[in-house]
Amino acid sequence: MAAGEQRGARRRRPAGPPGEPRRVGYLYLLPALVVHALFLLFPLARGAWISLFDWDGLTLGRWVGWENYRALVADAGLRAAFGHVAVLLVFFSVLPIAVGLVLATALHRTRVRGLAFFRTALFLPQVVAMVVVGVAWRNIYAPNGSLNRALRSVGLDSWATSWLGDADTALVAVGFVGTWVQTGLAVVLFLGGIGRIPHESFEAARLDGAGVVWEFRAVVLPALRAEIGIAATLTTIAALRTFDLVYVMTPLGGPGRSTTVPAYEIYHRAFHSGQVGSAAALGVALTALTFLITMGIARITREERAR
């Protein structure tokens, strides 16, 4: 029976090499698929379903259809949360990419010695748990922390402030930590990309009398499209998903809720204020946004490259 099946399969697809296993593939795939379906795909669908109910997590939910989504759009607090993400985006994404481009170009021009050491050091923030990063920076930003001490030592006493306790500075202070974390990623990514540019491209630009800036624009930037796209995707998603950092550095959404972000709103609504349906709707929105950004950036970089 089994042999007959195999023969039949081979006749349909003559290109298949002899003895290639086919159906057993399902068996190899099964364990991974089962766990993935039960603990990822199913919750994803359940989340979408819950988002259509008004539910406090304890009593019976009430069907409200799209109401939770409509409320999300109308919610001023939530608009503020997404506004905060927009600010974080500058710090998590734009600044690291800009700094990374300049630094990687400079490092490539001057064949720096000890590059391995610098790379290890710059990439280090990527592997430290965000909670630890939060604690470390809380110390730095503390009223008596090293930042204020440094400011006072150069006579800028009036600049010293309670960075995380002030609604005007808390978000920027958290954002800067994002720059600290993501810059290494961008630098290492771009260094790899520049290393792959053929030497002749630089020579040709130089023969044409190109200066540093021109060389950067004509040679480096176009060659790094893919890497810039990857850096933008990774850092944008990191900004969008920020939770640990704000939760540790500025409890309860920060002074005057100035650092509340969507992920924090999901947590707070679902587990502290009994708005599970609303939290689920926000989760769905966050997922959709992540998908759109990933696809969008992938498409832009691919088109630019094809040009």
Partner 1 sequence: MRVSRLERVGTYLVLAVFTLSALFPVLSIVATALRPEVVGQGGWRPENLATAWTVGHFGGYLRNSAIVSVSVVLVSAVLSVLAGYALGTMRFRGRGVLFALLLLGIMVPSEALVVPLYFDLRDLGLTNTYLSLVLPQVAQSVAFGAFWMRAFFLASARELVEAARMDGAGHLRTLWSVLLPLARPAVITLVVLVFLWTWNEFMLALVMATDEGLRTAPLGLRFFAGRATTSVPVLAAGSVLVALPVVLLYLVLQRHFIRGMLDGAIKG
CB–CB of 261/174 below 8 Å?
Answer: no
Kindly state whether residue 176 participates in binding partner 1, applying the rule CB under 8 A: no
Sequence-ordered strand ranges (E) for 2-135: 53-54, 62-63
Which among 254, 49, 90, 238 is positioned nearest to 175, based on CA atoms?
90
> What residues from 69 to 108 belong to the interface with partner 1 (CB under 8 A)?
99, 103, 106-108
> What residues from 225 to 254 belong to the interface with partner 1 (CB under 8 A)?
226, 230, 233-234, 237, 240-241, 243-244, 247-248, 251
> The tokens 């850096």 sit on which residue?
231
Q: Which residues of 153-190 are buried (b: 16+ CB within 10 A; e: fewer)?
A: eeeeeeebbbbbeeeebbbbbbbbbbbbbbbbbbbbbb
Kindly state whether residue 211 participates in binding partner 1, applying the rule CB under 8 A: no
Q: How many CA atoms lie within 13 A of 44 on its CB side?
A: 10
Kindly state whether residue 135 participates in binding partner 1, applying the rule CB under 8 A: yes
Distance in angstroms (rounded) separating the CA atoms of residues 184 and 168: 27
Q: Angle of helix 95-109 relative to helix 225-241, nearest 10 degrees?
A: 140
# residues near partner 1 by CB under 8 A? 102
Tokens of 244: 């640990």
Among 54, 180, 210, 257, binds partner 1 (CB under 8 A): 180
Kindly state whether residue 159 participates in binding partner 1, applying the rule CB under 8 A: no
In the bound complex, what is the minimum distance in angstroms from residue 70's beta carbon to partner 1? 19
Among 83, 98, 126, 214, binds partner 1 (CB under 8 A): 126
> Which segment (62-70, 72-80, 154-162, 289-297) binds partner 1 by CB under 8 A?
289-297
Write each residue from 251 to 280 as x if it is in contact with partner 1 (CB under 8 A), else as -, in one continuous string.
x----------xx--xx--xx----x--xx
Kindly state whether residue 150 participates in binding partner 1, applying the rule CB under 8 A: no
In the bound complex, what is the minimum distance in angstroms from residue 258's beta carbon to partner 1? 19
> What residues from 34 to 53 belong to the interface with partner 1 (CB under 8 A)?
35-44, 46-47, 50
Distance in angstroms (rounded) separating the CA atoms of residues 262 and 284: 11
Among residues 27 and 306, whose Cβ is nearest to partner 1? Answer: 27
Kindly state whether residue 300 participates in binding partner 1, applying the rule CB under 8 A: no
